[in-house]
Chains A and B, each alone.
Chain A
Amino acid sequence: MIEAHGLVKMYGKKPAVQGISFTVQPGKVTGFLGPNGAGKSTTMRMIMGLDRPTAGDVRVNGSHYSRHRAPLREVGALLDAKAVHSSRSAYNHLRAMAATHGIAKKRVHEVIELTGLGAVAKKRVGGFSLGMGQRLGIAAALLGDPRTIILDEPVNGLDPEGVLWVRTLVRALAAEGRTVFLSSHLMSEMAQTADHLLVIGRGRIIADASMQDFLARSGQVRTRIRTDQPDALYRAVAAEGVSIENRDAALLEITGVDPRTIAQAALDHSILVYELTPLQASLEEVYMALTKDEVEYHSQNIETAAVSRNIDNSAEAQDVLAGTGAASGEGK
């Protein structure tokens, strides 16, 4: 369990985290979402005692991280896959970490096998790919068989097999009753992994809800309809607050009115409908709508930028692309 109360972190005069309070419950996977620079990594570093909060307080498993007798057995964290000396081998890195808690070499070998590092364990970490570095970070997090696991962007750089493995692993850890707190920018991945969501924007918590509640909060009911008489149906349901999109000749997407009302209208006007599907908003859609105003580093819309500047030469369009890439970089 992780409990934060009024957590504040200032970097100079710039606030990174502005007085957030939240609880991460055991037995669930809690996803931590937010735009770049919103304060996710800072919050995680404060939980692990690496950054000192400017104000407020955060406890893991009932105590400050540094107060635990056996911190690695309480909390395992992957905050940064690069938290390893590049000239040391993965095996020796884990062995040194394990030695601080008298963790047996047997466990070191276990986590190496578990994370699929067996073939490269004796090689210098400096030569590892991003994905291998991630696996080593996860191995280090699991070393103490901790009750609470914190993973910052664990699937970053992993291959599809690795992504699936992380998803299965964190689901299994949560099912054992452990607290799992992870961040990711991959919405589809988060949708499949997390039970609960914590969304942070500009250093403030902007949503703290179960996945179901979060998806339902969009409030926008969307229905996909196939009919041979789209115009007639259009007139039948048209009203204030109802928007209708013609996807093609026979396909409509109607927002702002519930599916039953649409079906009733079709029946009343004897319109044949041969598909009527309520659509749930995807996590990405709800997230984007929620954080649209919270994004600190806005990417430029490439098309619009190019058009409005009347750019017709590809070299300048490339500049726009490059500028966009820089603007979306992780801020601290």
Chain B
Amino acid sequence: MSTATITPPAAVSGKGVNFARTLHSEWIKFTTLRSTWILLVTTVAVSIGIGVLGAWGMGSGIESMRESGQDPAAMGMEPSMIYLMATAGIDLSQLIIGALGVLLIASEYSTGMIRSTMTAVPTRLPALAAKAVVVALVAAAVGIVSSFATYFISQPVLTQFGMEYGLDVENLVQSLLLSGVYLALVALMGLALGSLLRNSAGGIVTLVALLLVLPIIASMLQFDWVQDGVVPYLPSNAGRQLVALEIAEDALTQLEGGLVMAAWAAVLLVGAAVTTKSRDV
């Protein structure tokens, strides 16, 4: 039996929790899973592959039309469409990056890791915020690296058709940079959905529904109010204005489109924050 005279150790000394340390912890967690690296490398490779192949396909198509005396423009093949190929990879990479966002948090719920996370950071929201910062920065980097790499790798390929182009194409640099912002917003939507649903499969399916299925369904509903009032404001439609090189008169501007998509991400994140704070883990 212990005696009652023993005094407990004095008040604790040493560092406490703060946001910088929580961010460091989340960075360690992010970089110490092999699956993360596989997804990131895959995303960059797939983006570059799609963009370069697309540029090569268009270049060779236009060249063969010209050789046979056809006018590519008359067939709907503007040489300027080649410029769009630099960011064409995000059609697919958004799905991988979005899945990464979902998995980052949903895998903690499925493995039980979330209880360790919430024990180390019991106020909870800083841990969610740190995850958001990490995944948004990584997604942005992946988007920007992929777009610029696609551009630079495409040029020697296009040279053989005499269709190489410079970074001085109007809005091009901006578009390459904003592809990173688009992917960051997708990643944040994924993180929020993963946190709300606490389930990897459910989160990924919901994200795909929001980004891909909803626009298709909406575009089939031929009502004016749907076409004018809903379709442009769906997250992927609005967000794609960020990487557009030309903006139609009546469409959302780059800034507007970006803000609409950011609003989608923000609403989902607020929902995730509220449930993270209130639900048992």
Contacts and interface: CB of A to CB of B under 8 A. Distances in A.
Nearest to B31: A92
Most B C-beta atoms less than 10 A away, residue of A25, A66, A74, A80: A66
A73 B2 contact: no
Interface residues of A, number: 55
Given A51-B280, A140-B116, A177 B6 contact: yes
Q: At the interface, is chain A mostly helix, strand, loop or mixed?
A: loop
Given A51-B280, A102-B15, A175-B2, A82 B112 contact: yes
B29 interface: yes
A99 B123 contact: no
A229 B8 CA distance: 57
A103 B118 CA distance: 17
A93 B28 CA distance: 9
A27 B2 contact: yes
Contacts of A52: 278, 280
A289 interface: no
B119 A71 contact: yes
A50 B17 contact: no
Given A72-B120, A82-B112, A45 B8 contact: no
Interface string A66-107: 101111111001011011111111001101110111110000
B25 interface: yes
B1 interface: yes
Nearest to B108: A85
Given A89-B32, A175-B6, A102 B21 contact: yes
Interface string A167-201: 00000001111110000000000000001000000
A102 B152 CA distance: 42
Interface of A: 1, 25-28, 45, 48-52, 65-66, 68-74, 77, 79-80, 82-89, 92-93, 95-97, 99-103, 140, 144, 146-147, 174-179, 195, 210-212
Q: Which 9 A-B pairs have the closest CB atoms?
A: A102-B15, A66-B122, A70-B16, A69-B16, A99-B25, A92-B32, A27-B6, A26-B8, A83-B115
